[in-house]
Each structure stands twice: as structure tokens, then as C-alpha cells.
Chain A
Amino acid sequence: QLQLQESGSGLVKPSQTLSLTCAVSGGSISSGDYSWSWIRQSPGKGLEWIGYIYRSGNTYYNPSLRGRVTVLVDRSKNQFSLRLSSVTAADTAVYYCARAGITMERGVLIEMNAFDIWGQGTMVTVSS
């Protein structure tokens, strides 16, 4: 059974870069038609989708994060990662990684399904 596990720094200073990794076990990140997303949850903003990457390496990010986000995949380690730069206190949240099935046409995502598998989440606090 596929499982996801987040890891990374739990405390980040303002203006620095938040870095998290999501390890995939019980299956290959490269098999099947799936997207791999980051989602965060804070008391003030609820659940917020951050961005995804899918098999071809294509990414899409939430415009609300104004170009601060990068999602990368490392197929050799069967994991994907999140980098969020220039963090502020507003980026304090529980960060989740999640999988969703997708439909692709000519290598482009045309349909996104539900987030069916989630990691357990990791708390990140932005503070000096």
C-alpha cells in the first residue's frame, strides 16, 4: 500500500527558504498517471493547495504564492520536494504531501482527480 512521509526543518527563520521532502513508499513515484502535490493548513487560511508535479516533470503552482514555490522530483530516491522562499510568519502551517490520479493527453494534464493518499503532515513554524 502506497504511503507518503514528509520530513524537513520544523523551524525556519523569516526571509529564509523552507525545504520539505515527501518520501514515497510501497510504490514507485514514476508509475501510473498521478500528480504529487503539496498542501498546507493553517488556522487562519484553512487548507491551501500549494502546487504539484507529475510524471513528465511538469509543475503548476498556486499563483497566490507569487513565484516563491518550487516542487521537484527525485526519481532515484522515490521522493519529491517543496521549496518555499522568502518565508514569513504567514507561512507557518502544517504541510502535507498528497497524491491524486490524473488524466493526461499528449503529455499534458487535462483532468485532476481527488487527493486519495496523504502524508501525516509536518508542522513548520516561521520564527526568528
Chain B
Amino acid sequence: DIQMTQSPSSLSASVGDRVTISCRASQSISDYLHWFQQKPGKAPKLVIYAATSLQSGVPSRFSGSGSGTGFTLTISSLQPEDFATYYCQQSYTAPYTFGQGTKLEIK
């Protein structure tokens, strides 16, 4: 199985900050990398697909980059509604696997 490793596991930031979350795959996955946002008691919500594409309806302050084994999710200016847990996930090959999550908290 492809292992997905996110860093950091948790992050404290303030409204207006620029934050970056990293995700590393145990082998090359091209751009088959997706980012999800999850709030307590809710299902994950797709934010970025295919490493760099913004899902419809998601604010443009979210962006993704990377290819191969290293990827990042960037939020350019944190808003109160962005505090949540973020997961990366690969769809390069089954079984499809997720990172362990990064919890973004208010400082």
C-alpha cells in the first residue's frame, strides 16, 4: 500500500495567516493527490483535486501544489471557517489511502 504522511499533525494559526500543510507519498503518485477538509461531525469535503485543481465552490485562498511524492496545501489568508482537519488522499492505485490528518486550530 502507498503510505501518505502529513506534516504537521497539528497547527495553530491566526485569522489572516498564510498556512501550508505538507503531504508525502511513499512512492510516486504523479498528480493523483486530493485534499479534503473535515469539520467535527461532518463528512470530508473535497477542496483540491489532482494536486492543483480547485474544487467548484471552494474559495480561491485555497491552493495546491506538487507532483510525484511531495505535495502542499496552502491557505493564503485564514478565515474563521477554515479551522478544521485536513487530509490528503491518493487515488493513483488501490487501495486508496489517506494521510493521518492535520488539525488546524485557532491560536
Contacts and interface: CB of A to CB of B under 8 A. Distances in A.
Q: Do A and B come from one complex?
A: yes
Contact of B96 (A46, A49, A116): A49
B101 A46 contact: yes
Given A46-B101, A49-B95, A60-B94, A113 B49 contact: yes
A64 to B, nearest CB: 7
Interface stretch (B18-26, B39-47, B65-73, B75-83): B39-47
Interface residues of A, number: 19
Nearest to B95: A62
B100 interface: yes
Interface of B: 1, 32, 34, 36, 42-46, 49-50, 55, 87, 89, 91, 94-98, 100-101
Interface of A: 46-49, 60, 62-64, 96, 100, 112-116, 118-121
A93 B106 CA distance: 27
Nearest to B49: A114
Contacts of A64: 1, 95
Query: In the complex, which of the residues A47, A62, A118, A120 has the most CB atoms of chain B within 10 Å of its own CB atom?
Result: A47
Contact of A47 (B50, B89, B91, B94): B89
A48 B87 CA distance: 12
Nearest to A60: B94
A121 B43 contact: yes
Contacts of A112: 32, 91, 94, 96
